[in-house]
Amino acid sequence: MEADLKPKAAKLALAMYSLTTDLKEAMAIIDYMQANANVLREAWTKADQAHRRVCVNCDKTYIVAKSNAAAEGFCTECDSPAFRKELMRVQKQNRRAARMNKLATLTFKEWIATLRHFKGRCAYCQRELFHDMEHFVPLRVCGVGRGTSVNNVVPACSACNYYKKSRNPYNERAARRIRIPKSDLDRVRNYLASPLSPPSIPPTSSTSTSTSTPNLPASHQY
């Protein structure tokens, strides 16, 4: 036990040195902590709570290290560059919807489930890798119950996103001006009428093929 504590004590001493270079003062702090264990316990609990997060993918509680702030949002097992990118995308589009007073309820797991349903490809043409999060009903014309929400967003390639523009497929006049086949629009509309319920899915694993999207580059593995 003593051998295990020795390296930790050395690290604690280095940490205390950054607080005070006076050895007597450092010893006095240690004596105070021993005599007032409740003070240490209270401070420790607050620090622990401040650094605890719940993984947006698997719901596991994890500790955020100050040096790993970029990975905040995911536990060690779920953290990946692709996941971070998509979390930022979800957060950005939710903020955009909120600024427009539209529904902003899309979760990370809902978006990943949507990407996996379409195998990381465009929901419209189903050929190209997706590039954008596309609002089926544009935010500017969304009514109650739609916005950046699981029933209104799909992945789209740059071309289809351009062809659809900010036109509402539910508006007959606007729909006629969308340069995407009606059959593709109808297929996406039917999907959004009953989107997938999102499971907790780990990122791509070398030991499991069920967590990856086949035939896609690493940056598009979900």
Q: Can you tell me the mean pLDDT for 18-28? A: 85
pTM above 0.85, yes or no: no
Strands 147-148 and 103-104, sheet pairing? parallel
Average pLDDT over residues 93-113: 95
Question: Which single residue is written with the structure tokens 């499991």?
Answer: 208
Per the DSSP assignment, residues forming a β-bridge with 205 are: 208
Q: What percent of the chain has pLDDT over 90?
A: 42
pLDDT band at residue 44, thresholds of 50, 70 and 90?
Answer: confident
57 occurs within a structural domain: no
Is the residue at 165 inside a domain?
yes
C-beta separation of 116 from 57 below 8 A: no
Residue 99 inside a domain? The answer is yes
Run of H or E including 112: helix 108-117
Q: Is residue 132 part of a domain?
A: yes
Please name the amino acid found at residue 117: H
Task: Please check whether residue 167 is in contact with residue 175, taking contact to mean a CB–CB distance below 8 angstroms.
Answer: yes
Q: Is residue 113 part of a domain?
A: yes
Which pLDDT band, with edges at 50, 70 and 90, does 222 fall under? Answer: low
Number of structural domains in the chain: 1
Give domain status of residue 122, yes or no.
Answer: yes
Three-state DSSP class for residue 37: helix
Look at residue 164 and tell me if it is in a domain: yes
* pLDDT tens sequence across 172-209: 888 889 999 999 999 999 999 886 544 444 444 433 33
Give the structural domain span for 110: 81-220
Q: What distance in Å separates the CA atoms of residue 194 and residue 19, rounded to the nearest whole number? A: 57
Q: Cα separation of 69 and 65, whole Å?
A: 7
* Residue 159 falls inside a structural domain: yes
Residue 154's SS3 state is strand
- Exposed, middle or buried: residue 43 (CB in 10 Å: 0-12, 13-18, 19+)? exposed
pLDDT at residue 46, as a whole number: 76
* pLDDT recorded at residue 150: 94
Query: pLDDT per residue over 118-170, tens digit each?
Result: 999 999 999 999 999 999 999 999 888 889 999 999 999 999 999 998 999 98
- Whole-number Å distance between alpha carbons of 145 and 60: 30
pLDDT tens-digit series, residues 67-85: 454 457 888 888 888 999 9
Q: How far apart are CA 222 and CA 220, in angstroms?
A: 6
